[in-house]
Copies of this chain bind each other. A is one copy, B any other.
Amino acid sequence: MFEFCLQGTQGAARAGTLTLPHGVVQTPAFMPVGTHAVVRGLSAADVRRTGAQIILGNTDHLHLRPGESVVHSMGGLHRFTTWNAPMLTDSGGFQVFSLEGLRRIEEDGVEFQSHIDGSLHLLTPESVMQIQWQLGADVAMAFDHVVPGQSAYEAASEGMERTLRWLCRCRAKHQELADPVRQTLWPIIQGGVHEELRLRSLEGTLEQGPWTGIAVGGLSVGEPKPVLHHVLELLHPAMPAGIPRYLMGVGFPPDLLEGIARGVDLFDCVAATRNGRHGTAWLPTGRLNVRGAALKGSLEPLDPSCDCETCTTYPRGYLRHLFVVEDILALRLVSIHNIRFLVRLGEQARAHILNGTFERWSRQWLDCYYAGGE
């Protein structure tokens, strides 16, 4: 269980297979986000049909509603949501540190105020392990101290060092609680945009290992793209090759290819569903506004090269009409396309890595996408 096998590489790019209790994940792969135990607006069957192999849940949101004890009493997240495939829960670190309701950060943990009823909640490394074990995803994430993007050295260092100390407590609590064949724990590398801190974070994390996977957090939070790329390039040679690498919160189409080229295996991001809800579809030629008058009466598919339910079924003119009359089916259909778009990008990248054609294909793909005006 939790084995990761590499089937091929090209440069830093990797094609692998991750075995989890609820199934296998072929990488590189995009993981749709189901914040409230639902990928916004989509049924489990919708998500399955996109080819997604693994989805995320958000620990802090599920802690508030419906509460981990409710999910646990119903047999865990898989049974609760009817998603019978791999799942990962984040630790809530990113969420509580970006919340307006954040109250108090201490060595013990973080106090935050519920956005729902104003109640106060304390998250500690131990409670976060407890919650995630009760939720029952295949992969639990360590509780991390996330600092704002481009934080100065001092602040980034403090968050990174605390993340290392919390990792030690997470590991101890997870070993005490969790059945090791049903859930694994992955650490998160912090350190902001500072090379030295990123390397120290990786080193300190690996010292506490071994791990079955490793995540890079605190990126895509406002820093320029080249900085993100540089951090990935810096970490790549120092990362163990035999475990999957998860770049947290990253997932616009070009980001996937740039990340894969730098050794990333797993991605997650709400952009696919958020853009879908707002009527923005991703195409190989860039973004398309599905509300646009140009689509009126069009019999073309949204993306003629796409094999998703939306593109193989509905004409553009009908999708636009659904936005005009404000039917919620519109949000769902464009979300389905956008998720399939990212899932397929992972599938295509994998095939090209295995064929040794990733680099050329990726360059052409990005040229075409940016030429569309993204």
B38 in contact with A322 (CB, 8 Å): yes
B41 in contact with A321 (CB, 8 Å): no
A315 in contact with B74 (CB, 8 Å): yes
| Segment at the B interface, from A4-12, A195-203, A325-333 | A325-333
A10 CA to B235 CA, complexed, in Å: 78
Give the Cβ gap from A306 to chain B, nearest Cβ, in Å: 16
From B40, B70, B313, A317 is in contact (CB under 8 Å) with B70
Chain B residues closer than 8 Å to A331, beta-carbon distance = 328
A328 in contact with B41 (CB, 8 Å): yes
Within 8 A of B (CB), among A294-325: 296-297, 299, 309, 313-315, 317-318, 321-322, 324-325
Kindly name the residue among A42, A43, A75 whose own CB sees the greatest number of chain B CB atoms within 10 A.
A43
Give the Cβ gap from A120 to chain B, nearest Cβ, in Å: 20
A81 in contact with B297 (CB, 8 Å): no
CB of A252 within 8 A of chain B?
A: no
Chain B residues closer than 8 Å to A299, beta-carbon distance = 74-75, 79
Chain B residues closer than 8 Å to A119, beta-carbon distance = none
Chain B residues closer than 8 Å to A327, beta-carbon distance = 36, 38, 40-41
From B38, B43, B318, A82 is in contact (CB under 8 Å) with B318
From B70, B74, B80, B328, A328 is in contact (CB under 8 Å) with B328
CB of A66 within 8 A of chain B?
A: yes
Chain B residues closer than 8 Å to A329, beta-carbon distance = 38, 41-43
A residues bordering B, Cβ < 8 Å? Answer: 36-38, 40-45, 61, 65-66, 70, 73-75, 79-82, 296-297, 299, 309, 313-315, 317-318, 321-322, 324-325, 327-329, 331-333
Nearest 10 A/B pairs, CB to CB: A36-B325, A328-B328, A41-B328, A70-B297, A38-B327, A66-B321, A82-B313, A74-B317, A80-B318, A73-B297
